[in-house]
Amino acid sequence: MPVQLNPYLTFRDTAEEAITHYRSVFGGQLTISRFAEYGAGDGPAEQNKVMHAMLTTDQGLVLMASDTPDSMDLTVGDNISVSVGGDDEAVLRRWWDGLSDGGTVTMPLEPAPWGGLFGMCTDRFGVHWMISVDGAA
């Protein structure tokens, strides 16, 4: 799979409503994973929240979204990240190093419960990045 660059929207409790709306606008295939599937979230009240949703259209648009746990800050207007993913671990690690250099790592690039590697950082310019390496361990 080639490396992909995708917008990633975050919400408090309305990710499913939003991504379903975007599907009605753009069409495409929608997948939704819940916090409960990965033993994540802040207690039973958050188990049905969206941990990750991905809308893929026939035109090649990929839009991702998730709900933000109550324990994490969320500021509307600051709720978009850029997601980069693929299977070229060397390239993605190099990009991770460059993006996180001088920035703030919010989640280290490390093995993810769903497989591969995942990390989040805010670069020195205030842009939020998510890096996902498929199949890496």
pLDDT above 90: residue 52: yes
Tokens matching residue 57:
């259209």
pLDDT of residue 85: 86
Please name which of 100, 93, 97 lies closest in space to residue 117, comparing C-alpha atoms.
93
Could you read off the pLDDT of 14-43 as tens digits, one per residue?
Answer: 999 999 989 997 889 999 999 999 887 677
pLDDT of residue 76: 76
Contact assessment for residue 48 and residue 36, using Cβ atoms and an 8 Å cutoff: yes
Report how far residue 63's alpha carbon sits from residue 109's, in angstroms, rounded to the nearest whole number.
22
Domains, the chain, in order of start with CATH, read 4-133 (3.10.180.10)
pLDDT of residue 53: 97
Q: Which residues are registered as beta bridge partners of 110?
A: 118
Contact assessment for residue 117 and residue 136, using Cβ atoms and an 8 Å cutoff: yes
Could you read off the pLDDT of 74-108 as tens digits, one per residue?
Answer: 887 777 888 888 888 998 998 899 989 999 999 99
Neighbours of 16 (CB within 10 A): 19
Give this prediction's pTM.
0.71
pLDDT of residue 38: 84
Confidence of residue 136 (pLDDT cuts 50, 70, 90): low
